[in-house]
Amino acid sequence: MPMSDRDRPLYMISVAAELTGMHPQTLRIYEAKGLVKPKRSAGNTRMYSQADIERLELVSQLTAEGINLAGVMRILDLKERLDAKEDEVAALRKQIASLEDKVHEYEMQKTITALARMDSTPALPKYPRGF
């Protein structure tokens, strides 16, 4: 699966810290706890994506509301599962729409075939009344 623009590693830890308003050590701790998983460059430098930045901002918002890191981890897990289910529902809706189009096309072909058969049947001879 190709990497989306949101998932492309762009920011070194110092930039990510500045963007999120967090200390670089906090980012390292969050990585150690599994709250964020930045990619690594060839030189083993942490590289944060826009999705990582958004996730860190959500972590910051939740902790500011008084939720501890265990609660934040649970919320993030549930959010990921919800996002996956929403993606699945969207894919299923797309599949349903495709199948509905195919059914409609099949029904139209069936109707056209029936009409074509009616036109191709030889006309019965017309006999005068009383015959």
Condensed to tens digits (0 to 9), the pLDDT of residues 89-128 reads 999 999 999 999 999 999 999 998 888 888 766 666 666 6
Between CA 77 and CA 5 the distance in angstroms is 22
Does position 1 have pLDDT exceeding 60, yes or no? no
Instruction: Please report whether residue 30 resides in a domain.
Output: yes
Instruction: Please report whether residue 32 resides in a domain.
Output: yes
Between CA 24 and CA 16 the distance in angstroms is 8
Instruction: Please report whether residue 39 resides in a domain.
Output: yes
Instruction: Please report whether residue 54 resides in a domain.
Output: yes
Instruction: Please report whether residue 96 resides in a domain.
Output: no
Q: Which three-class secondary structure state does DSSP give residue 60?
A: helix
Q: What is the CATH number of the domain that holds 37?
A: 1.10.1660.10
Q: What is the pLDDT of residue 131?
A: 56
pLDDT band at 4 (very low <50, low <70, confident <90, very high): confident
Split into its structural domains, the chain has a count of 1
Q: Which domain holds residue 62?
A: 5-66
Instruction: Please report whether residue 99 resides in a domain.
Output: no
Q: Which residue has the tokens 């609660």?
A: 71
Instruction: Please report whether residue 128 resides in a domain.
Output: no
Tally Cβ neighbours within 10 Å of residue 92. 10
